């Protein structure tokens, strides 16, 4: 180990080497057991990188299990689980960070932070804050949007650039907030409340760039979740992580995972809209042209028919039809009248033959008894009986003096 001179300036590399010697030559740090909760874990060809976090969340340590050691681990680190690991402390000079090189990992139960997060998620889910029915649809063509993020964050620049390229002239309201650390939850909730009270924005983007899980802990805070749930306008989150959804993502009306994706989702691309507009115009022109062409073809067919059949000929044909119908009606009426006249004459003749006066005029007479009954047989008559005789012209009264033929 080299000697550190107090009054002599050191280079960054020199100081780093000195600290590295202190750490790596300490016998107590060459084989140390450490317990903590896994807050992040990533697999690379070179090895398994993960972070152990103190249950209180106020300290964390980077760990690496090189590829040759991964197969020897009793368990693999899983985010949210508590581990007991055995390793040695080393320093990575390029970043000036120390890390724990892992030889072995043993399970120690569910981590306190993960347990608290799961309990909070279950409670909020029971309240219905994550229900799909309460989520609102994003406006199709917003004119004013609000962005909540850190003014120093790259996310704010990404959002501005994306919005400017996709929808020039859009009115963007910026509500700054701290998006990492202990002050972040209250700061984010206050920024969201400012947008809601302002009342001009139609949709709100809550954004942050990527980072370790412990750096994104503020988006699992109950204060942030309830601020999003109570916001009067739709909220879209663009938090730079692709692994597990945060509670802010679950309660938001839409989750885009990255700031750029959130900006792309919240407004349409003006160039695409213009292209769609031109496409609709072309389709409309084609439809009008087809309709006009069909109408012109139909008009031409009608004109051709009129040329083949002039109007005066049509009128003449119709008049001929009317004349034919008139003659038919006249003949039918005359025929029916002749039939009726013949029937009347026949009835007259029948009536004439049945008329008693006609019979009397031919020399016949009608003999009646005193009471008016017609005398039809001599058997019913008696000598001295008076009879009334009706002739063709006039009548007379006679008395029976002799009955010539009586059965």
Considering the domain architecture, whether residues 295 and 363 belong to the same structural domain is answered as no
Of 239, 268, 297, the one marking the end of a domain is 268
How far is the CA of 144 from the CAs of 173, 179, 235, 259, 262, in angstroms? Answer: 7, 23, 13, 17, 15
Q: Is residue 147 a part of any domain in this protein?
A: yes
Statement to judge: residues 392 and 292 lie in one domain: no
Residue 73 has a pLDDT of: 86
Residue 334, classed as helix, strand or coil, is helix
CA 366 to chain centre: 107
For residue 190, being part of any structural domain is answered with: yes
Query: Per the domain annotation, does 405 fall within a domain?
Result: no
Q: Are residues 100 and 30 in the same domain?
A: yes
Integer Rg of the chain from CA: 59
Q: Where are the alpha helices (DSSP H) in 143-269?
A: 154-166, 184-198, 222-229, 247-251, 259-266
Per-residue confidence (pLDDT) for residue 97, from 0 to 100: 86
**Residues 145 and 241 both lie in one domain:** yes
| CA dist., res. 64 & res. 40, Å (int) | 12
Give the pLDDT confidence score for residue 230 in this predicted structure. Answer: 93
Q: Which three-class secondary structure state does DSSP give residue 370?
A: coil
pLDDT of residue 338: 86
How many domains does the structure of the chain reveal?
4
What's the token pair of residue 364? 């016949």
230 is a domain residue: yes
The answer to whether residue 54 is domain-embedded is yes
| 367 within a domain of the structure (yes/no) | yes
CB atoms within 10 A of CB 26: 12
Query: Do 226 and 286 fall into the same domain?
Result: no
Please, what are the averages of pLDDT over each run of 10 residues along the chain (407 residues)? 61 80 79 87 91 82 91 86 87 86 81 74 91 90 92 89 86 92 92 94 90 78 93 91 77 90 85 73 84 85 73 78 88 87 80 69 74 76 78 78 71
Together in a domain, 146 and 208: yes
Cα separation values, 18 from 14, 63, 171, Å: 6, 21, 54
Beta-carbon contacts of residue 298 (< 8 Å; ≥ 6 apart): none
What is the residue range of 368's domain? Answer: 359-399
Q: Are residues 160 and 255 in the same domain?
A: yes
The verdict on 297 and 374 lying in the same domain is no
Q: Which helix (H) or strand (E) holds 35?
A: strand 32-44
Do 278 and 249 belong to one domain? no
Give the per-residue pLDDT at 296. Answer: 83
257 plus 158 within the same structural domain: yes
Half-sphere exposure of 231 (CA within 13 A, CB side): 34
261 contacts: CB under 8 Å, gap ≥ 6:
238
> Are 261 and 283 part of one and the same domain?
no
Distance CA 364, CA 369 (A): 17
Which pLDDT score is estimated for 244?
61
Query: Considering only CA atoms, which of 124, 106, 123 is closest in space to residue 38?
Result: 106
Token pair of 48 as six digits: 């398994």
235 and 163 inside one domain: yes
- Evaluate whether residue 343 is within a structural domain: no
CB 257 within 8 A of CB 209: no
In a domain, 333, yes or no: no
CATH number at residue 182: 3.40.50.280
Answer yes or no: are the C-beta atoms of 80 and 37 closer than 8 Å.
Answer: yes
Residue 395 three-state SS: strand
Here the CATH number for the domain that contains residue 28 is 2.40.50.140
């Amino acid at each position: 180990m080299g000697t550190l001179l107090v009054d002599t300036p050191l280079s960054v590399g020199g100081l780093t080497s000195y600290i590295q010697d202190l750490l790596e030559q300490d016998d107590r740090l060459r084989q140390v057991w450490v317990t903590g909760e896994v807050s992040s874990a990533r697999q690379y060809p070179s090895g398994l990188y993960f972070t152990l976090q103190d249950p209180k969340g106020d300290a964390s340590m980077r760990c690496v299990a090189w590829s040759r050691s991964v197969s020897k681990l009793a368990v693999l680190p899983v985010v949210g689980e508590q581990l007991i690991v055995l390793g040695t402390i080393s320093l990575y000079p390029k970043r000036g960070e120390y890390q724990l090189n892992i030889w072995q990992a043993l399970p120690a139960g569910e981590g306190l932070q993960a347990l608290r997060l799961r309990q909070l998620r279950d409670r909020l889910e029971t309240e219905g804050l994550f229900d799909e029915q309460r989520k609102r649809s994003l406006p199709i063509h917003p004119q004013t949007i609000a962005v909540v993020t850190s003014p120093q964050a790259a996310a704010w620049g990404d959002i501005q650039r994306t919005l400017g390229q996709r929808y020039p002239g859009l009115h963007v309201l910026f509500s700054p907030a701290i998006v990492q650390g202990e002050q972040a939850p209250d700061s984010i909730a206050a920024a969201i409340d400012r947008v809601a009270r302002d009342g001009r924005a139609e949709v709100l983007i809550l954004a942050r760039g990527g980072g370790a899980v412990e750096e994104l802990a503020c988006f699992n805070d109950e204060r942030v979740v309830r601020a999003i749930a109570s916001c009067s306008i739709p909220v879209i989150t663009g938090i730079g992580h692709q692994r597990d959804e945060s509670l802010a993502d679950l309660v938001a009306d839409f989750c885009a995972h990255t700031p750029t994706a959130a900006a792309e989702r919240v407004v349409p691309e003006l160039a695409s809209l213009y292209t769609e507009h031109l496409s609709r115009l072309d389709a409309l022109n084609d439809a009008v042209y087809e309709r006009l062409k069909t109408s012109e073809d139909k008009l031409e067919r009608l004109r051709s028919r009129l040329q083949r059949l002039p109007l005066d000929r049509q009128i003449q044909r119709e008049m001929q039809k009317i004349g034919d119908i008139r003659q038919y009606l006249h003949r039918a009426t005359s025929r029916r009248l002749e039939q009726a006249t013949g029937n009347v004459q026949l009835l007259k003749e029948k009536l004439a033959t049945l008329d008693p006066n006609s019979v009397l005029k031919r020399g016949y007479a009608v003999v009646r008894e005193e009471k008016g009954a017609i005398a039809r047989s001599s058997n019913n008559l008696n000598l001295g009986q008076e009879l009334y005789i009706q002739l063709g012209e006039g009548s007379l009264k006679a008395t029976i003096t002799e009955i010539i033929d009586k059965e």
